[in-house]
């Protein structure tokens, strides 16, 4: 099986704070399979570490009020192109990220409140019919 994975879940230090979201569950799940790591925010040219962002009224904005929507959308488009080329059987995504969240995201108020919804990349990859799994569903 071919599995596309949010790179931070594999231990890549691409998270906004310079760390990662390494997951033993993901490591076990991908064992013996072909893995395609992607970090849409890095692909969009954003630095690591970076100021955390949320989707504010449909526009990705960082906590300091700077609009980073273009970078997020560019990175999502590049990651989607990789998915369309590689055709993964499943895409495993980090929960609640404004790029990768596929079930819930933060509500845009930077107060840790969650709402149902998708990050920019997750929305695209789901729209194209890929099977997605949120980390918390593994």
Residues that bind ligand SF4 (CB under 6 A): 6-8, 14-15, 39-41, 94, 97, 99-100
d(CA 28, CA 45): 30
Question: Is the CB of 56 or the CB of 102 nearer to ligand SF4?
Answer: 102
What single DSSP character describes residue 118? -
To ligand SF4, the closest distance from the beta carbon of 97 in angstroms equals 3
Nearer Cβ to ligand SF4 (22/66): 22
Cα–Cα distance measured from residue 62 to residue 51, given in angstroms and rounded to the nearest whole number: 6
Residue 87 Cβ vs ligand SF4, minimum distance, rounded to whole Å = 19
For ligand SF4, the closer of residues 2 and 11 by Cβ is 11
- Between the alpha carbon of residue 82 and those of residues 77, 78, 88, 129, the distances in Å are 9, 6, 9, 14
Are the C-beta atoms of residues 3 and 34 closer than 8 Å to each other?
yes
Q: Quote the DSSP letter at residue 95.
A: T
From the CB of 85, what's the least distance to ligand SF4, in Å?
18
Q: How far is the CB of 125 from ligand SF4 (least distance, A)?
A: 11
User: 12 or 56, CB closer to ligand SF4?
Assistant: 12
């Amino acid at each position: 099986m071919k599995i596309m994975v949010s790179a931070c879940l594999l231990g890549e230090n691409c998270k906004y704070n310079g760390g990662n979201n390494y997951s033993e569950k993901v490591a076990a799940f991908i064992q013996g399979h072909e893995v395609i790591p992607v970090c849409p925010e890095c692909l969009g040219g954003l630095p690591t570490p970076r100021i955390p962002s949320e989707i504010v009224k449909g526009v990705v904005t960082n906590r300091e009020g700077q609009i980073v929507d273009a970078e997020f959308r560019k990175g999502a488009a590049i990651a989607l192109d990789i998915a369309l080329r590689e055709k993964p059987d499943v895409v495993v995504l980090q929960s609640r990220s404004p790029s990768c969240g596929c079930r819930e995201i933060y509500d845009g108020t930077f107060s840790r409140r969650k709402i149902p919804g998708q990050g920019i990349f997750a929305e695209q990859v789901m729209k194209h019919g890929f099977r997605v799994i949120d980390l918390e569903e593994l």
